[in-house]
Amino acid sequence: MKALNSVIAACPPSGIRRFFDIAAEMDDVISLGVGEPDFVTPWRIREAGIYALEHGYTTYTSNAGLPRLRELICADLATRYGASYGPGDECLITTGVSEGLDLALRVLLNPGDEVIVPEPCYVAYEPCVAFAGGTPVRVPTRWEDGFAIDADVVAAAITPRTKAILIGSPANPTGAVQPRAALEALVRLALEHDLYLISDEIYDRLTYTGAHTCLGTLPGARERTVLLGGFSKAHAMTGWRVGWICAPAPVAELCVRVHQYTMLCAPHVSQLAAVEALSGPDADVDAMVADYDRRRRVFVKGLREIGLDCPEPGGAFYAFPSIRSSGLDSETFADRLLHAEHVAVVPGSVFGPSGEGHVRCSYATALPQLDEALVRIDRFLQDIR
């Protein structure tokens, strides 16, 4: 047999998968390993999806997606952040940010182009760059700095082949929100070196310590920014697979071109549910965000009380405590914690070398479960000391 695609074959499977396999075998596991809301999609949105099915909206939509949904997204970005994107030629609906990221990279990259990826970062960033023919170039961030991206470190990694910088804020796995000044410094670098910026803002509504900065609204950024967003996190719609890209028309047009041949369109029913998500009352999102915030405070305080240093997570629904005091590396820590106490966390090292010494804990879990998890982690820490 001839060899399969060498780039894909060389890409290691996600480090998360192994923990899933072990945790799935246990029946009393408390999972802090889940990267999605513990809320079910609000009923008004589910009801709109059911209505769409009942009335036979089971067809394709236009490639770029329902015009009404694109109008709502652009209007929402304008009201919330003052961003200006045209629903006609600067916005398209994707099957989640995952597809959006893939499209953006394929459209921006020529073979061998480098993409700077500050890490620790979402597990898909580097593989998607590689699949698109690019070369991911890791840039470390430090938990002592709250995982803020240091423009000087980024600048040092820029070469003539550098094409783009890929940023996720608020971030999975750290919960870090990039300070506005850090983003502005990246925009200056992008202008200076003629780089694109890919901004994954799927967690934009889930911020607790300050307003979200939409990268596309920073001076000079709009013309070189590909903005990725979606409904999965804020509206608890992960399984619906619906997200969007907003980008300058030439970029958006090529994204639609790839999308029309590979995906055709995002699911029609999901798009109609997303229309309800944006056109109906917003109180359910606010209530979910307030609930995450309360659990965040209780959980982070609890982690600190059992002796784990934890930087204040300003967004998303992850805490990223340091486990260095345990003397274990993050993979061993997560493995032993799972076997000894049946608590699933994700080792920080799967998100990049700078994640070593940390574990990702999702607090999108009911409060009694978080309390019990803290008791078990505390017992585990005392046993290994």
Identified binder of another protein from the candidate list 44, 142, 301, 304, rule CB under 8 A? 301
Q: 352 and 121 in contact (C-beta within 8 Å)?
A: yes
Structure token digits, residue 373: 């998890």
Q: What is the dihedral of CA 353, 354, 357, 361, to 10 degrees?
A: -100
Dihedral of CA 271/277/278/280: which sign? positive
Of the listed pieces 34-42, 50-58, 79-87, 129-137, which binds another protein according to CB under 8 A?
34-42
Structure token digits, residue 12: 């290691």
Restricting to residues 335-374, name those near another protein by CB under 8 A.
344, 346
**Terminal Cα distance for the chain, rounded:** 52
- Say which residue the tokens 């999901």 belong to: 270
Restricting to residues 139-198, name those near another protein by CB under 8 A.
172
Residue among 80, 253, 245, 104 at smallest CA distance from 166: 104
Nearer of residues 101 and 275 to another protein, judged by Cβ: 101
Count of residues in contact with another protein, rule CB under 8 A? 26
- Residue 257 CB, shortest distance to another protein, in Å, is 28
- Residue 215 CB, shortest distance to another protein, in Å, is 22
Residue 236: how many other CB atoms lie within 10 Å:
22
Q: How far apart are CA 128 and CA 104, in angstroms?
A: 10
Q: Does the protein bind another protein through residue 294 (CB under 8 A)?
A: yes
- Residue 325 CB, shortest distance to another protein, in Å, is 22
Of the listed pieces 48-56, 63-71, 118-126, 155-163, which binds another protein according to CB under 8 A?
118-126
Of the listed pieces 109-117, 214-222, 269-277, 288-296, which binds another protein according to CB under 8 A?
288-296
Identified binder of another protein from the candidate list 7, 40, 181, 249, rule CB under 8 A? 40
Beta strand 243-246 with 225-230: parallel, antiparallel or unpaired?
antiparallel
Q: Does the protein bind another protein through residue 298 (CB under 8 A)?
A: yes
Residue 172, SS3 per DSSP = coil
Structure token digits, residue 350: 């799967």
Q: Does the protein bind another protein through residue 24 (CB under 8 A)?
A: yes
- Residue 14 CB, shortest distance to another protein, in Å, is 6
Identified binder of another protein from the candidate list 19, 81, 318, 363, rule CB under 8 A? 19
Residue type, 8: I
Question: Which stretches of the chain bind another protein, using CB under 8 A?
Answer: 14, 16, 19-20, 23-24, 29, 31, 33-36, 38, 40, 122-124, 172, 293-295, 297-298, 301, 344, 346
